Amino acid sequence: METVQGKSRFRSAAVCALLFTLNVSFVLFLAGCVYSFSGSSVPKHLKTIAIPLFEDQSGFGEPNLKENFTTSLINLFINDNSLEVAERNTADSILEGSIVSVQDAPSVISPGGGGQVSVRRVTITVHVTFQDLKLRKKMWDKNFSNWGEYNTSGDTRATALTDAVSKVTQDILIETVSGW
């Protein structure tokens, strides 16, 4: 009879330990589900942002690159709605920058010899400064870089450049509205 009681106590202790472990795991799971940016939202005194035309200092020779880049960035801010895009003379903040470099380099060499490039990577790097015009303070000054790829057998370099611009402008938006 004592062995049955001993086994029963062991089972009870094992069940308690299992429930405790499950509860701790559940609490840790819930804690891991909380998502937040590294900072908070835009300071309350900043309502508007000016985004003048970015300069193209890359020497890449892509027509309309600076116009397309700036338009893409402005459209992201308009869609995000954290800061209203305004003219420089009325804005609370300003995002200025230049396209520093654009590189088109081999990414994948086809197997089987011959050294044929099958995929190329276009990488864009931009230098950006964000300033609080109300407090007359530079908030950050950073380089951003991102890329897009294209198959040499069919895609165009323009597609990869558009992907790279899209990625880097998203990085800039995120840093501007959540990097506080």
Full-model pTM: 0.75
Alpha helices per DSSP H over the chain: 2-33, 65-80, 157-178
The pair of structure tokens assigned to 149 is 């790829």
15 close to 22: Cβ distance less than 8 angstroms = no
Rounded distance, CA 106 to CA 68, Å? 24
Listed range (80-84, 107-111, 120-124, 133-137) with the worst mean pLDDT: 107-111
Q: Which residues is 125 bridged to in the sheet?
A: 101, 145
Which of 64, 49, 135, 63 is CA-nearest to residue 96? 49
pLDDT at 18 > cutoff 80: no
Query: Model confidence over 124-162: pLDDT tens digits?
Result: 999 999 999 999 999 999 999 999 999 988 878 999 999
Which of 161, 178, 171, 179 is CA-nearest to residue 97? 171
The pair of structure tokens assigned to 101 is 């470099």
